[in-house]
Amino acid sequence: MNIIIVGGGVVGSTLAQQLEKEQLNHRITLIESGQEKCQKLANKLDILAIHGSGLDPAMLIQAGIDDADMLVAVTPNDETNILCCYLASRFNVPNRVARLKSTNFSHEFFGLKDLGVTDTIEPETDTINQILEYLYVPEQTEVINFRKAGIALRGFKVTLNCALVNHTAAEIAKIMGDPHVLLLVISRNGNTIIPNGESLIQLGDEILLLMPISAINRFHDLFKTSGDKIAKVVINGESPMTISLVKEIEKRAKRTVLISEDEEFCRMCADSLHNTDIFFGDPGQEETLIDAGVNTANFFISVDEDGEENVMTALLAKAEGAEQAIAVTNYEKHLQLFRTLGIDHIIQPTKLSTQQIFSDIAGFSRDAVFRHSKTDMDMSHFYIESGSRIAGSPIHEIRKKAQSQFIIACILRNNEFIMVSGITIIEEHDDIIVFYNSHDLKSISKLFRA
Amino acid sequence: MNFSFVTHAIGRLLQVLGLVMLLSLGIAIIETSPRSIAEAIASPALLGFVIAIALTFFAGTILILRKPSRLVGNGIREGFTIVTFGWIIFAFFSSIPLQIWFNMTDHSPFSLYKLFYHFTNSYFEVMSGFTTTGSTILTDIEALPKSLLFWRSMTHWLGGMGIVTLVLAIFPASGITGYQMFRGEVPGPTAEKLGPNLRQTAKILWGVYALLTLAETILLMFGGMPLFDSVCHAFGTLATGGFSTKNLSIGYYNSAYIDWVITFFMFLAGMNFLLHYQMIFKRNFSLLTKNSEFLFYSKVLGGAIILSTLILWIKGILPADAVGEIFRGYPIPSDQLQTVVSGESSKFDSFFSALRFSSFQVISITTTTGFMTADYDMWPNALRTMLVFLMFVGGCAGSTAGGIKMLRIQVLIKSMIREVRRMVQPKIVQSIKIGKVPVEEKQVANIVGFLLLFIMTYGILVFAMSFFVEDFSTAATAITATLGNIGPGLAGVGPTQSFNWIPLEGKWICTLAMLLGRLELYTVFIAFAPISWKR
Query: What's phi and psi for A312, nearest 5 deg?
Result: -60, -45
Q: Exposure of A192 by Cβ count < 10 A (0-12 exposed, 13-18 middle, 19+ buried)?
A: middle
Residue type, B174: S
Other residues' Cβ atoms within 10 Å of the Cβ of residue B519: 22
**Beta bridge partners of residue B372, listed in sequence order:** none
What is each CA distance from A87 to A57, A84, A331, in whole angstroms?
Answer: 7, 5, 33
pLDDT of residue B234: 95
Distance from CA of A270 to the nearest CA of B (A): 5
Q: Which of B290, B292, B415, B429 to mutate to test the interface with A (most CBs of A within 10 A)?
A: B429
Q: What is the mean pLDDT of residues B31-59?
A: 87
Find how far residue B17's CA is from the centre of its chain. Answer: 18
Chain A residues lying within 8 Å of B433, measured CB to CB:
271, 274
pLDDT of residue B505: 94
CA angle B28, B32, B33 (to 5 degrees): 105
pLDDT of residue B176: 56
A14 vs B517: which has the higher pLDDT: B517
Residue type, B282: K
Measure the CA–CA gap between B6 and B489, rounded to whole angstroms: 36
SS3 label, residue B223? coil
* Beta carbons of B430 and A274 less than 8 Å apart: no
Chain B residues lying within 8 Å of A292, measured CB to CB:
427
Q: Which of B417, B422, B431 to mutate to test the interface with A (most CBs of A within 10 A)?
A: B431
Q: What is the mean pLDDT of residues B237-247?
A: 91
* Beta carbons of A269 and B436 less than 8 Å apart: no
Q: Which of A235, A277, A285, A295 to mutate to test the interface with B (most CBs of B within 10 A)?
A: A277
pLDDT of residue B385: 94
pLDDT of residue B57: 94
Measure the CA–CA gap between B3 and B23, rounded to whole angstroms: 31
Measure the CA–CA gap between B304 and B298, rounded to whole angstroms: 10
pLDDT of residue B417: 94
Residue B190 has pLDDT above 70, yes or no: no
* Beta carbons of A266 and B429 less than 8 Å apart: yes
A42 vs B128: which has the higher pLDDT: B128
Q: Which of A358, A386, A407 is nearest to A450 (CA)?
A: A386
Q: Which of B427, B433, B438 sits opposite A279 (nearest CB)?
A: B427
SS3 annotation, chain A: CEEEEECCCHHHHHHHHHHHHHCCCCEEEEEECCHHHHHHHHHHCCCEEEECCCCCHHHHHHCCHHHCCEEEECCCCHHHHHHHHHHHHHCCCCEEEEECCCCHHHCHHHCCCCCCCCEEECHHHHHHHHHHHHHHCCCEEEEEEECCCCEEEEEEECCCCCCCCCCEHHHHHHHHCCCCCEEEEEEECCEEECCCCCCECCCCCEEEEEEEHHHHHHHHHHHCCCCCCEEEEEEECCCCCHHHHHHHHHHHEEEEEEEECCHHHHHHHHHHCCCEEEEECCCCCHHHHHHCCHHHCCEEEECCCCHHHHHHHHHHHHHHCCCEEEEECCCHHHHHHHHHHCCCEEECHHHHHHHHHHHHHHCCCCCCCEEECCCCEEEEEEECCCCCCCCCCEHHHHHHHCCCCEEEEEEEECCEEECCCCCCECCCCCEEEEEEEHHHHHHHHHHHHC
* Most confident option among B145-154, B179-188, B428-437: B145-154
* Beta carbons of B429 and A271 less than 8 Å apart: no
B436 vs A: CB within 8 A: yes
The answer to ipTM > 0.85 is: no
pLDDT of residue A368: 57
Measure the CA–CA gap between A435 and A428, rounded to whole angstroms: 19
Q: What is the mean pLDDT of residues B78-98?
A: 90
What residues have CB less than 8 Å from B346, skipping those under 6 apart? none
Q: Give the nearest chain A residue to B430 (CA atoms).
A: A270
B429 membership: H or E segment, kind and range: strand B428-429
Q: What is the mean pLDDT of residues B394-416?
A: 90
pLDDT of residue A107: 77
How much of chain B exceeds pLDDT 90, in percent? 52
* pLDDT-based confidence at residue B202 (cuts at 50, 70, 90): confident
* Beta carbons of B438 and A278 less than 8 Å apart: no
**What is the tens place of the pLDDT at every residue in B344-355?**
899 999 999 999
B426 vs A: CB within 8 A: yes
* Beta carbons of A279 and B431 less than 8 Å apart: no
B433 vs A: CB within 8 A: yes
B283 phi-psi bin (left φ>0, alpha ψ -120 to 50, beta other): left
Q: Exposure of A146 by Cβ count < 10 A (0-12 exposed, 13-18 middle, 19+ buried)?
A: buried
- Residue B387 near residue B362 (C-beta atoms within 8 A): yes
* Beta carbons of B427 and A272 less than 8 Å apart: no
* Beta carbons of B427 and A271 less than 8 Å apart: no
Q: Exposure of A267 by Cβ count < 10 A (0-12 exposed, 13-18 middle, 19+ buried)?
A: middle
Other residues' Cβ atoms within 10 Å of the Cβ of residue A107: 10
Q: Which of B445, B355, B366 is nearest to B401 (CA)?
A: B366
Q: Which of A271, A279, A292 sits opposite B431 (nearest CB)?
A: A271
Residue B166 has pLDDT above 80, yes or no: no
Distance from CA of B431 to the nearest CA of A (A): 5
* Beta carbons of A271 and B438 less than 8 Å apart: yes
What is each CA distance from A29 to A4, A119, A203, B6, in whole angstroms?
Answer: 5, 19, 50, 70
Q: Which of A140, A121, A120 is nearest to A130 (CA)?
A: A140
B333 vs A: CB within 8 A: no
Work out how many CB contacts closer than 8 A connect A with B: 36
Q: Which of A271, A274, A278 sits opposite B428 (nearest CB)?
A: A278
Chain B residues lying within 8 Å of A288, measured CB to CB:
427
SS3 label, residue B90? helix
pLDDT of residue B196: 64
What residues have CB less than 8 Å from B290, skipping those under 6 apart? B435
B442 vs A: CB within 8 A: no
- Residue A106 near residue A120 (C-beta atoms within 8 A): yes
* pLDDT-based confidence at residue B451 (cuts at 50, 70, 90): very high
The residue ranges of every structural domain in chain B are 287-507
* Beta carbons of B427 and A277 less than 8 Å apart: no
Measure the CA–CA gap between B214 and B238, rounded to whole angstroms: 10
Q: Which of B423, B425, B427 to mutate to test the interface with A (most CBs of A within 10 A)?
A: B427
Q: Which of A256, A259, A274 to mutate to test the interface with B (most CBs of B within 10 A)?
A: A274
- Tell me B350's DSSP state: S
B425 vs A: CB within 8 A: yes
N-terminal to C-terminal alpha carbon distance within chain B: 6
What is each CA distance from B410 to B122, B414, B447, B452, in whole angstroms?
Answer: 37, 6, 10, 16
Measure the CA–CA gap between A258 and A439, rounded to whole angstroms: 46
Q: Which of B427, B431, B436 sits opposite A270 (nearest CB)?
A: B431
Q: Give the nearest chain B residue to A268 (CA atoms).
A: B431
Residue B192 has pLDDT above 90, yes or no: no
Measure the CA–CA gap between B400 and B132, rounded to whole angstroms: 8
Residue B14 has pLDDT above 70, yes or no: yes
* pLDDT-based confidence at residue B299 (cuts at 50, 70, 90): very high
Q: E strands within B118-163?
A: none
* Beta carbons of B428 and A272 less than 8 Å apart: no
Chain A residues lying within 8 Å of B429, measured CB to CB:
263, 266-267, 269-270, 278-280
Other residues' Cβ atoms within 10 Å of the Cβ of residue A237: 27
Distance from CA of B340 to the nearest CA of A (A): 54
Q: Give the nearest chain A residue to B435 (CA atoms).
A: A274
Q: What's chain A's length in residues?
A: 450
* Beta carbons of B438 and A270 less than 8 Å apart: yes
Measure the CA–CA gap between B37 and A448, rounded to whole angstroms: 116
Residue B182 has pLDDT above 80, yes or no: no
- Sorted by where each starts, the structural domains of chain A and their CATH numbers stand as 2-121 (3.40.50.720), 139-223 (3.30.70.1450), 231-353 (3.40.50.720), 376-449 (3.30.70.1450)
Q: Which of B97, B98, B99, B82 is nearest to B13 (CA)?
A: B82
Q: Which of B427, B433, B436 sits opposite A281 (nearest CB)?
A: B427
Q: Are strands A324-328 and A345-347 parallel, antiparallel or unpaired?
A: parallel
* Beta carbons of B427 and A288 less than 8 Å apart: yes
Measure the CA–CA gap between B450 and A116, rounded to whole angstroms: 56
Chain B residues lying within 8 Å of A280, measured CB to CB:
427-429
Measure the CA–CA gap between A280 and A292, rounded to whole angstroms: 9
B443 vs A: CB within 8 A: no
**What is the tens place of the pLDDT at every residue in B349-393?**
999 999 999 999 999 999 999 899 999 999 999 999 999 999 999
Q: Which ranges of chain A have pLDDT less than 70? A: 22-24, 149, 225-227, 339, 359-369, 373-374, 415, 417, 419, 450
Q: Which of B429, B431, B438 sits opposite A279 (nearest CB)?
A: B429
Distance from CA of A440 to the nearest CA of B (A): 56
* Beta carbons of B430 and A278 less than 8 Å apart: yes
* Beta carbons of B436 and A291 less than 8 Å apart: no
- Residue B127 near residue B515 (C-beta atoms within 8 A): yes
Name residues 81-110 of chain B within 8 A of A (Cβ): none
Chain A residues lying within 8 Å of B431, measured CB to CB:
267, 270-271
